[in-house]
Amino acid sequence: MDARAGFCVVYRFKVRPGLETEFEAAWAQLTQAYKRDRGGLGSRLHRAEDGLWVAYAQWPNKQMWEESRALGPPDTAAGQAMAQSVEERLDAILLEPVNDLLEPVPIKSQS
């Protein structure tokens, strides 16, 4: 296991049509709250070709993620906004990193 990568989780969402902007804003607000208040290491949000939204989140370890999850969202308003924008939430995929060769790359907005 590559200890630098900690513990990772993949979340998948089907977002209600027309609420994509609200979903993205709520996701960003929640991610910042998890980093600030719960020790999360951040997340990347992706839009898959099939229309699903996929977020990849990192934590120092599984125990911290489980403890945070048991407390509910650290930002109630953002949690409610995200829940209202999501039509379907698929099961999370829990990952134990084995080898980390990912390089951080700045994301440029496509206009």
pLDDT(68) > 60: yes
107 occurs within a structural domain: no
CATH number for the domain that contains residue 42: 3.30.70.100
pLDDT at residue 97, rounded to an integer: 86
| Domain interval for residue 48 | 3-95
pLDDT(100) > 90: no
- What separation in angstroms does the CA of 33 have from each of 18, 56, 85, 107, 108? 25, 16, 18, 21, 23
Give residue-wise pLDDT tens across range 8-49: 999 999 999 999 999 999 999 999 999 999 999 999 999 999
- The total number of structural domains that make up the chain: 1
Note the pTM of the prediction, 2 decimals.
0.85
Q: In what order do the strands lie in the sheet with 7-15?
A: 43-47, 53-59, 7-15, 86-95
108 pLDDT tier (thresholds 50, 70, 90): low
